[in-house]
Structure 1
């Protein structure tokens, strides 16, 4: 059975776990990023009114839903609690949208 040769990494190379921990430390907690009690109330109200993923044909159970900002909080902080700026997405669709919108090759 062939064995994969070891990969050389310089001493200054950081592993994936270490990079993720450093990113999370710089990012701040959810409360520091604006997801406070006011957000939790708006989120609960939105999920009560829109209990399914907005992607046609998606049948994700209601316990796996996220409330997504259509216009990101980073770009429009004044619309953070605006109910017209929210939509319900399941975890997989929300991750795909976030990845697309916040990646290095996003369309501006």
Structure 2
């Protein structure tokens, strides 16, 4: 399976795309949430799994606390590193993203 890196407008993103943002490669999962924004443009947001978390951690472009949820332990709260690093990709029709998309 070969992948091409292409520029894709937000409304044309789809599950399985790998979006490049803030040094992260984010695999889009499921369907987007969609809401009507204040600019009269629909706003889309996708949940996605960060595939290159070690690179992101080394670069320091995104704090780890932004990639992981929290869980309670006996001493308080801690990052839930078992849940996997996630990121939200959001934008409207005026935003495009560099995307890895399968050529299949």
> One fold, TM greater than 0.5?
no
TM-score using structure 2 length: 0.26
* Bigger Rg over Cα: 1
Q: Which has the higher contact order (CA 8 A, sep 6+)?
A: 2
TM-score using structure 1 length: 0.26
Identify, as 1 or 2, the structure richer in helix.
1
Identify, as 1 or 2, the structure richer in strand.
2
